[in-house]
Chain A
Amino acid sequence: MREAPLLEVKDLGVTLNTSRGPAQAVRGVSFALRRGETLGLVGESGCGKSVTALALMGLLPESAVISGSVRLDGAELVGLPDAAYCKLRGNRISMIFQEPMTALNPMHTIGHQVAEPLLRHTGVSAAQARQEAIALLDRVGLPDAAKRVDAYPHQFSGGQRQRITIAMALACQPDVLIADEPTTALDVTIQGQILDLIAGLVAEHGMSMILISHDLGVIAENVDRMMVMYGGTVVESGATDAVFTRMGHPYTQGLFRARPRLGARKGTRLKTIAGTVPELADLPAGCTFADRCAIVEARCRAALPAVVDVGGSHGVRCIRTDVSMAAGGVGA
């Protein structure tokens, strides 16, 4: 049985105005997210993963040109006036940011900040919102929530602050949660706790989640499906297990091989990807990865390759999958 998707993104494109002229930060991104489903976005800086998230949140600067369609429960979000977007943000779509230090306002108590979306969206009284904020802080594992509700952000550690931003994002029980590198600023042991917490809450409320990360390990352990982005396009997408079993795109393979891994002997050479990430302002006409690809051909540079289904809705945007996926391929 297939229910209608909660969030449906079709051919999303974002053009940003930069000092070097218009830059196509996102091109042709399409995906559908059902209720309770989790999707991972992985890629390096400048690949367009955060811009995609900001486009969904309606948080791009006014100068940005957005094309395509984003539908939440069938309602179109692209071109929605800001006042209408304000009713959605923090209510039906919420976001957890990378830096808990800068995501919180240092001038307000944490209780005030967690209660704010409740007061804005649900029409509860201030006293009720405060009680609810304490319950939320308790739920995200902040010790002595009732006592510390009037404390300021600087009085908490990084992991505790990230718990507070999670409480803020979840206050109104959103349908879609976007977590942009939620654990990158945290220690590896705290990272596990925060990801456990998010996973627990997502399951508890039947939320859908988009998890953005540069860490393939975090993606492998936390989402049902994943998309790999490079140069503003999705180069590979599919069920997380399928992608990790058989990586199809030369970029995904390169990213996987470049990671240092535990147990590798000292002196092991890491396999690097030649070259650097292309400037978004002057992307090549063809495949965005062409300049760094080991199996590039003339026709790769002619036009942006179409997505090839390599089985089980595992899509790879490469015209040479016959070569890249031959000989066992790459996967764990």
Chain B
Amino acid sequence: MTMLDQPSPATPLLAVTHLAQRYTLPRESLFKPPAQVHALNGVTAQVMPGKSLGVVGESGSGKSTFARLVMALERPTAGQVVLLGRDLNQLSPDDLRRARRDFQMVFQDPYGSLDPRQTIARIVAEPLTALGRIDRAGLRERVATTLRQVGLRDADMDKFPHEFSGGQRQRIAIARALITQPKLIVADEPVSALDVSVQAQVLNLMQDLQDEFGLSYILISHDLAVVDLICDEIAVMYQGRIVEQGRPADLFAHSAHPYTRALLDAVPRARAGGVRRRRGAQAIGSQASATAGCPYAPRCPLADRHCRETAPALRNVADAHLAACHYAEAVMALPPVVAEAG
């Protein structure tokens, strides 16, 4: 145990600075350099201990790449991921393996993420056994405790994944993440594969665990309502950049980026008199071609020449509220996209 394991409230649990990731596409021509995809383009974010960050955006926005880099599953092209004061990409492989006890991941698909040939006990114990030797009796005790924490029974230890429903499997995946007593859990779409009634159970469990253990979550989701429920801060990503960031209430009541407004507007409302709200067809910009201007300009109803020529920087538009839009103030002055009643 070092001093760094007990961060004071003022130091962030996780600090990500100017994180960028480029992937090289297969070469299309012998004589041209292969094209590159800028999956992540200079992302800076912090997570305070016990607080949670939600990351929303469409597919291809870079939110899963962000999760993989925070989990140190890939080396970034540029930038830093600092957890509890240590740069994860500067650690030796051995140190990194030990450091992993502090950050764990829950994946989207509870069917694909659990090995069908292993018992629940082995699956849940694996992060712990990977950290070093531990005696068998103690290990089973830890597994039993963790299973009870996620609402499963001790008797479930010797079963196999196929004996469980989707919601129970996601509980097992959460137990596996919890067993090392991490400070941060990165959850990539943890409930999107689940039915509505089961989704509610898992979301309630995630909230309970946060209250009990003071965990932080990085919650990656396309569902704004899910992120709103769990997170203290939300980052909206578009083409590898954070285009708006702030507290959920500010973000939803006074969206400062047209993209955030478009996302909110697209959520279907479950209520009587749900008249179809027509949305104009929008062309989707290509990721591979980096243009000089704002990446959202081709889809933006407010875009003008200035937007197409100069990319806006992420800037403060209000207290703890950032947006990357030249016209953020004008967007904030628009009437809010009606939040769902009830």
Contact = CB atoms under 8 A, between A and B. Distances in A.
A101 to B, nearest CB: 12
Interface stretch (A173-181, A268-276, A297-305, A315-323): A268-276
A270 to B, nearest CB: 4
A141 B230 contact: no
**Looking at A242, A266, A268, which has the most chain B CB atoms within 10 Å of its CB?**
A266
B200 A193 contact: no
A261 B340 contact: yes
A254 B224 CA distance: 21
A221 B267 contact: no
Interface in B266-301: 266-279, 281-284
Nearest to A292: B197
Given A266-B248, A267-B207, A188 B263 contact: yes
Contact of A332 (B198, B252, B271): B271
A189 B58 contact: yes
Given A214-B195, A218-B268, A270-B203, A240 B223 contact: no
B197 A220 contact: no
B82 interface: no
Nearest to B269: A217
B318 to A, nearest CB: 18
Contacts of A258: 196-197, 199-200
Given A158-B59, A217-B269, A244-B272, A44 B232 contact: no
Helix, strand, loop or mixed for chain B's interface? loop
A158 B195 CA distance: 22
A189 B232 contact: no
Interface string A241-281: 11011000000001110111111101111111100110000
B207 A192 contact: no
A228 B228 CA distance: 27
Interface string B224-258: 11101111100000000000000010001000000
B249 to A, nearest CB: 8
A329 interface: no
A187 B58 CA distance: 6
Contacts of B271: 220, 244, 331-332
A259 B196 contact: yes
A195 B262 CA distance: 16
B24 interface: no
A191 interface: yes
B270 A269 contact: no
Nearest to B201: A272
A331 B271 CA distance: 7
A221 B207 CA distance: 31
B38 interface: no
Given A189-B263, A222-B276, A273-B197, A262 B281 contact: no
A251 B228 CA distance: 25
A262 B225 contact: yes
A106 interface: no
Interface in A134-181: 141, 143, 157-159
A309 interface: no
A192 B266 contact: yes
B167 interface: yes
A83 B152 CA distance: 50
Interface string B34-68: 00000000000000000000000011000000000
Interface string A188-207: 11111101100100000000
A244 B270 contact: yes
Please give me the 4 A-B residue pairs with the lowest Cβ-Cβ distance, nearest first: A217-B268, A332-B271, A220-B274, A263-B339
Interface of B: 58-59, 165-167, 195-201, 203-204, 207, 222-226, 228-232, 248, 252, 262-264, 266-279, 281-284, 339-342
